Amino acid sequence: MLCNNLAVPTSVQGGLDNAASGAATMTSGQAVPRCQPPSPVVAPLDPGDVAITGLNTDNPDVFRFVALVNIAAGTEIQFTDNDWKLPENEFRDSEGTVTWTSDTAFIPAGAVVDLVHNSGNAWIARTGSVAESDAGFSLSTVGDQIIAFQGSIDGSGALAGTIVAALNYDSPDGWDTGTSLNANESALPLGLADNDIAVSFTHKGNGFYDCSAAPISGTTDNLRATMADASNWTRNNTVFGTTPACSTISVDLEASVCIDELVGLIEDAFGN
């Protein structure tokens, strides 16, 4: 593992020894304590803690997401096909929402969750449970969006909560910037970055992150970026017979944490 008894190289230590404070915070060859993976999430999710990695809009509606952190038992994530509108920076509350709830045991980072609208007009989840919490969720074959959030939407469309992931498959130029959008179009939700926490591509009604060719292991940040890169997706306007299950996705939480800690250590040594 990246941070397992990592020794500070002499070349790096020399720079640290000459930090502005004039006092070394580490000694040459000192081992940095082994970083521990974070415990299961117990607080609300942050943007980018999950990634939307698949959809099918030619009946049945199906979409897929991947946990990029450990998700605590009982966590709820809501998914809406309401679009995000400008200049209000709020939802157009005219479509629907489905709410997924994790199992009684925590969901480990790397877990793939499929949500399926079956022939009986009910949503089912391969992991956890799901229900349509606001009627009207239906992915359009001519373009739509899936926006994942925690919190609630009031009657005007204002969100009290956090958007954690988003996908758009309508606009030829990515997320729309206009102020007169229809239900098949959406602006990029406030605070999200395309090709990172959000992904967009030209209209094709079915697609998935192709884990048979794209990376399936790495840090949270690296996997989030590759999953939001449209070039790593396989897409089509006809229903896929079988999609890769991506059951072997491996999120290196230890490396994710240790990189942040080492950067902080070096910044502290230089007084930044």
Following DSSP, what letter does each residue of 221-259 receive, concatenated? HHHHHHHT-GGGEEEESS--S-----TT-EE-HHHHHHH
Residue 101 confidence (pLDDT) above 60: yes
- Scan for tokens 């406030």, then name that residue: 190
Asked if 133 contacts 93 with a C-beta cutoff of 8 angstroms, the reply is no
- Using alpha carbons, list the distances in angstroms from residue 119 to 26, 62, 143, 200: 62, 12, 22, 28
241 CB-near residues (< 8 Å, 6+ apart): none
Identify the pLDDT of residue 53: 93
Which is more confidently placed, 60 or 257?
Answer: 60
Q: Return the biggest CA–CA distance within the chain.
A: 70
Q: Which of 73-87, 178-192, 232-246 has the highest mean pLDDT?
A: 73-87
Average pLDDT of the segment spanning 147-154: 93
Checking if the pLDDT of 24 tops 50, the result is: no
Query: Distance between CA atoms of 31 and 108, rounded to whole angstroms?
Result: 29
- Direct distance between the N- and C-terminal alpha carbons of the chain, in angstroms, rounded to an integer: 27
Give the distance, in angstroms, between the CA of residue 188 and the centroid of all CA atoms in the same chain: 15
The confidence score (pLDDT) of residue 260 equals: 57
190 Cβ neighbours under 8 A, 6+ residues apart: 84, 89, 163
Query: In the chain, what percentage of residues exceed pLDDT 70?
Result: 74
57-97: pLDDT as tens digits: 888 889 999 999 999 999 999 999 999 988 999 998 888 99
How many residues are given for the chain? 272
Select the more confidently predicted residue: 251 or 15: 251
| Residues 194 and 188: beta-carbon distance below 8 Å | yes
Question: Does the pLDDT value for residue 35 go beyond 80?
Answer: no
More confident residue, 224 or 136: 224
Band (pLDDT 50/70/90 cuts) for residue 185 is: confident
Per-residue model confidence (pLDDT) at position 182: 80
- Output the pTM of the full model: 0.80
Q: Residue 13 — φ and ψ, nearest 5°?
A: -60, -35
